Structure 1
Amino acid sequence: MIKINIYLLTIMIFLVFEIINVENLKKRSFYLKNSDFQYMTKGFHKNKPLKSYLSNFTTNNININYILKDNTYEGAYEIIYDKLELLKKENSDNIDHINTFEGFLEKYKEEIKKHKSCTPQVFLDIFLQFIEAFNKYRYYSFPNVHRYDESLYEWSLNFWSQLIDKKNSKFLGIENIKKIEKWKEEGHNIIIFGNHHIEADANIIKYFFDVHGSQDISRNMIFIGGHKIRTDPLSRPFSVAANLLCIYSKKYIENPPHLKEEKILFNHKSLNALRNLFNQGKQIIWLAPSGGRDRKGSDGHIKISPFDPKIIQTFHIFAKRSKVKTHFIGLALYTYNICPPPNTIDIDEIEKTRSCSYSSVSLNLGEDIFDLYPDMKESEITKNLYNYVNQLYDQIR
């Protein structure tokens, strides 16, 4: 009799506990943990901007979904903000950067809410994925050649695509994508020289190729990456989502002085890696030969910064020595309003404030400069490339 009473009491306690749990779940947003799956799976949303959308994120091979009951931007924001506050406690050396990101988060929420570019659930998902990538790569040391994290590929496109006014964006030179694909199949190298506006340019260039049916280019293109996109904790999650050949630009070589030799050695290794890539063939490489982002002038216009002749000369020498046919392509972009850079250039510091806007973007993919100027002398390559990219730029701004 005592055993039966204990058994009944146990059942009653279990039922009460289950009822309390159900009531609690009705009152708030909650998350589900599922450890039965080792790999990230895909979810789909009605308003997905691309062909697919990663709707969950993975922590140590555990899928975690946060489901918004009220489906509001404010509810999503609160969850993200709480996660960032927790992140500060776990990353005392990155508190300033996380504070900066909280300001960006607030602006991002305002923009997507105003323009209804994505649902609150999508907003929540992509920012939680950012936090996961931040944790995963916060101590990551970039090698000379970094290969992209495939699990972050679609997320990196979706994060920025929510800020793109797709209706008013302008994409020109689509027909030249097929030429690049054909050249790559034939074993040629394709070097894309372009101007540079914002930190997210690599992701927007990938987006350009992806939405025009060339995931092969989008996934395999290599971007020449500088100093800040590797050292800035807020940029790093997006940087690891792209293929990078890492190199220090000349303005960072001597700062700080005690790291100069180390940086020079790193650059030598990167140049050797670049030479090997040229010799292999089938490479698609993007770089900004200006060595940095374009800034607004005193008249409010954004002019393309001058191209560095030494950079273009280096690529031309490698192309000739490789014995592999190489194409020099021009690409102009106008992405400035999505995530404007500061007007001043500070070598020592990473940006203290970050903003964003829902805006159109424009890209214009050009042709091979050697086809346009078949009799061009080596000394004329930089000038002709710069003038050509400016012509492409004038068509989209």
Structure 2
Amino acid sequence: MTSFSVISDSCQAMLTMSPFPRSRVSAASFVGGANFHGLSARLLMKILSTELLSIVRKEAESGRLSSNIADGLEELFFNYRNAVLQSGVPGANEIILSNMAVLFDRILLDEEVPFEFSSHHVAIREPFDYYMFSQNYIRPLIDFRNSYVGNISLFHEVNQKLQQGHNIILISNHQSEADPAVISLLLERTHPCIGEKMTYVAGDRVIVDPLCKPFSMGRNLLCVYSKKHMDDDPKLTESKKKANTRTLKELALLLRAGSQLIWIAPSGGRDRPDPHTGEWSPAPFDASSVDNMRRLLEYSNVPGHIYPLALLCYEIMPPPPQVEKHIGERRKISFHGVGLSIAPELKFETVDGCSNPEEAKEAYAQALYDSVTEQYDVLKSAIYGYDGVNASNSVVTLSQPWK
């Protein structure tokens, strides 16, 4: 049996570990059918964790897995383990082992048979459900006791408009690779269809980084090259521009069909902390990106709406302090409260504009950015200022809809 098959078989056993003692026979197959009768849960988990990491090292030694990926997986394992243990969630050891085993399995599978993303990628839900894998992996990293949603009634409004065939574009800041799962998990109880239906305008890094690909495969994506990385390799600049043009055509076709929910971060990448103060805030929006989305929405001949959306979740999976050119960033992971907020629809014609089209374009992008920043500050007060729902104001009403 290959290492890949061992991980695949063990995942099935570990995912059914409830209650733990009943799983010992199944889990024992993970290490060659050894007899673990009488061992404590903690000791058994330590043995299984060691074996899981051993499989990764053997794959690297055989040349089937690059040493960089193997090192990244090992670091990710310990960072994820520490974060989930910090959460105090019942059955933390089983959750850690099962989620990491599934992730290792998916990464090894992709190394064996690489998956290629198309310009418009539709979430893979079967035979393996990558969407639920992502949900289950990120869920134990969220401190729901200290997490909040702003203006939950507006998500109901969004859902109604989608059912009527309208298009919705969410103009958002971008904090971490976990953003899609955070959105879905915070709306899971009240609006599960929003998380499943949403299509994300995604940069190329999340579809080429081996540690990120399994999570991306579970989301609906429109794949583009970010302006920040357009010229990383000058020889590829022209082909990247052509790829972006193809994706825009795909987006135009989707919008003409109606009932589309599109998320985009017009900053072109994740937010970063201020290098001097260490404070986090939404990165400025690129006005041309906002205007492109507005025009595509307008030309679709389907009713369309643009809403400002704020995300605060950098703690659970923060990006590197600076933008990196190379693929394979280090993953730091934490257990922390997160926030999501949406503001009322913002129409282009209602923004105090100018007769100059370029100035009007800038003014609209700035108005959206100001709304996102205002919502972000409320979430920040609720989570980091420990004000909770009392941080609500006339613009943002906070709640915990999972309660």
**Is 2:144 aligned against 1:166?**
yes
Q: Which residue of 1 aligns with 2:159?
A: 181
- 1:146 paired to 2:121: yes
1:342 aligns with 2:317: no
Quote how far apart the aligned CAs of 1:86 are: 3.0
Shift in Å, 1:113: 2.3
Q: Select between 114-123 and 332-341 the one with higher mean Cα deviation.
A: 114-123
Higher mean displacement: 111-120 or 316-325: 111-120
Match in the other structure for 2:269:
292
- The amino acid that maps onto 1:343 is P
The residue that corresponds to 1:97 in the other structure is: 69
* Residue of structure 1 equivalent to 2:184: 206
Query: 1:342·1:351 contact (CA, 8 Å) conserved in 2?
Result: no
Partner of 2:49: 77
Change (3 A) 1:33 1:334: closer
Kindly state the Cα deviation for residue 360 of structure 1 after the two structures are TM-superposed: 0.9
Q: After alignment, is 222-231 or 112-121 more displaced?
A: 112-121
Identify unmatched segments of 5+ residues in structure 1: 1-29, 48-55, 57-64
SS of equivalent residue, structure 1 residue 128: helix
Q: 2:338 aligned with 1:389, yes or no?
A: no
1: CA distance between counterparts of 2:34 and 2:138? 21
| Higher mean C-alpha deviation, range 357-366 or range 187-196 | 357-366
Instruction: Give the match's secondary structure for 2:350.
Output: coil
Give the structure with higher Rg (CA). 1
Tell me the amino acid that sits aligned with residue 367 of structure 1: P
So what's the TM-score if we normalise by structure 2? 0.79
Cα distance, 1:275 vs. partner? 0.6
In the aligned structure 2, how far is the partner of 1:284 from the partner of 1:295? Answer: 26
Secondary structure of the residue aligned to 2:236 is: helix
Corresponding position of 1:121 = 94
Give 1:300's aligned amino acid: G
Shift of 1:117: 2.2
Distance (Å, rounded) in 1 between the aligned partners of 2:245 and 2:121: 16
Match among 99, 115, 133 for residue 106 of structure 2: 133
Aligned partner of 1:107 among 79, 82, 87? 79
Counterpart code for 2:204: H
Paired residue total? 345
Identity percentage of aligned residues: 25
Aligned counterparts of 2:288 and 2:150: Cα–Cα separation in 1: 29
Question: Cα–Cα, structure 1 residues 46 and 299, in superposed 2: closer, same or farther, change >3 Å?
Answer: farther
Task: Please list the CA deviations of residues 11-54 of structure 1 after superposition, one character each: whole Å capped at 9, or x if unmatched.
Answer: xxxxxxxxxxxxxxxxxxx99969xxxx999858589xxxxxxx
1:362 aligns with 2:339: yes
Secondary structure, in 3 states, of the residue corresponding to 1:167?
helix
Q: Distance in 1 between matches of 2:123 and 2:35?
A: 29
Q: 1:246 to 1:352 in 2, by over 3 A?
A: closer
Task: Describe the shift of the 1:43–1:346 C-alpha distance in structure 2 as closer, same or farther (beyond 3 A).
Answer: same
TM-score by length of 1: 0.80
Q: Take 1:341 and 1:367, find their aligned partners in 2: how far apart are those partners? A: 29
Match among 284, 295, 310 for residue 288 of structure 2: 310
Residue 165 of structure 1 deviates from its aligned partner by 1.0
Question: Does the 8 Å contact 1:97/1:352 carry over to 2?
Answer: no
Counterpart Cα distance in 2 of 1:114 and 1:213: 27
The structure-2 alpha-carbon separation of the partners of 1:44 and 1:169, relative to structure 1 and needing over 3 Å to count, comes to: farther
Q: In the alignment, is the contact (CA less than 8 A) between 2:170 and 2:306 conserved in 1?
A: yes
- State the Cα deviation string for residues 184-220 of structure 1 (Å, max 9, x = none): 011100101111111111221122222x332221111
- State the alpha-carbon separation in 1 of the partners of residues 200 and 328 from structure 2: 21
Report matched runs for 1:198-347 at 5 Å: 198-210=176-188, 212-297=189-274, 298-347=276-325
The separation in 1 between residues aligned to 2:7 and 2:284, in whole angstroms, is 51
Displacement of 1:100 after TM fit? 1.8
